Amino acid sequence: MVCNFQQPVRYFDLNSSMADTLVFIHGLGCASSYEYVPIAFFEMMKKYRIILVDLIGFGYSDKPSRFEYTIDNHATCVFDLLSTITNRNIILYGHSMGGAVAITLASMLGPSLKFLILSESNLDTGGGFFSKKIASYDRNAYLESGHKIMIRESLSERNTHWASTMLNSLPQAVYEGAKSLVDGGRINWRNTLYEISSKSAFIYGEKSLPDSDYEKLKSHGIHLEIVPKAGHSMSVENTSGLATAIENCIKHLTIAST
């Protein structure tokens, strides 16, 4: 699918003179403009061109109702964006749902892809805890009341960061994104990751372990990093730890590729 909307994807572009471009893609109901700005300003990140993407329907990006908010369509829109601003040395970082988008995008980039870094990414159909919960709603019920219920529950559980970005997310985009994670896309995310394992790394929050995928990923030659004192929301639970983990991934993959 080609994005036919006028500049639908909003993004921050920092350190634009740098040779390597590090692209951040956020998770379901989130926004890169909210989560990753602090990471971009760590000293270790200043040697990269930083692109903080808000997917369509989220953050500062357009929120059209006439758009299918699937993993494949998100990947296509980010591909179209990157095609206009950079065409080489792209390092993709994707978190959770954004990981599935990043894997799909990686399959489209060809030699322009330098490295793929995922943090607790969706790898299989069926979804995760929140996407399953959202997708279990009837569509109209979620749009009418389910989205508000999810935000209220997040606030009651003191998950204020996610509640804040969910408030600025289009309910349709959240629901269709969750359904897409449950149903899957045009490629198998896990198998695609394994195919490019030599260029790939995976980050866990310490509190998310143990995880059955840890040894599977390791056995396929994927470099692993752990963010201490953090769980799934590692960008806000330990911002400096995530920045360090990303830099460690890039260092390892650079050495491994030489």
The domain locations on the chain are 10-128+186-257
Given a contact cutoff of 8 angstroms between Cβ atoms, the answer to whether 76 and 44 are in contact is no
* pLDDT band per the 50, 70, 90 thresholds, residue 168: very high
**DSSP code at position 220:** T
User: How far is residue 116 CA from its own chain's centroid?
Assistant: 11
What's the 3-state SS for 169-209?
CCHHHHHHHHHHHHHCCCCCHHHHHHHCHHHEEEEEEHHHC
Query: How far apart, in Å, are the Cα atoms of 62 and each of 35, 70, 112, 222?
Result: 18, 15, 27, 35
Q: How many H helices and E strands in the chain?
A: 13, 7
Per-residue pLDDT at 2 = 42
127: Cβ–Cβ under 8 A, 6 or more apart, which residues? 135, 178, 181, 182
Question: For 14-73, how does the pLDDT look when each residue is reduced to its tens digit (9 = 90+)?
Answer: 999 999 999 999 999 999 999 999 999 999 999 999 999 999 999 999 999 999 999 999
Per-residue pLDDT at 8 = 82
Going by C-alpha positions, the residue among 218, 206, 231, 234 that lies closest to residue 93 is 234
Per-residue pLDDT at 5 = 45
Residue 1 has pLDDT above 60, yes or no: no
Mean pLDDT confidence for 230-234: 97
Question: Which superfamily does 10-128+186-257 belong to?
Answer: Alpha/Beta hydrolase fold, catalytic domain (3.40.50.1820)
Neighbours of 126 (CB within 10 A): 12
User: Cis (ω within 30 of 0) for the bond into 111?
Assistant: no
> Measured on CA atoms in the order 116, 6, 134, 139, is the torsion positive or negative?
negative
* pLDDT band per the 50, 70, 90 thresholds, residue 118: very high
Given a contact cutoff of 8 angstroms between Cβ atoms, the answer to whether 12 and 50 are in contact is yes
Mean pLDDT confidence for 144-150: 98
Going by C-alpha positions, the residue among 26, 184, 178, 173 that lies closest to residue 95 is 26
Per-residue pLDDT at 9 = 92
Per-residue pLDDT at 3 = 52
Residue 131 has pLDDT above 90, yes or no: yes
Structure token pair of residue 26: 């956020």
Per-residue pLDDT at 218 = 97
Per-residue pLDDT at 220 = 97
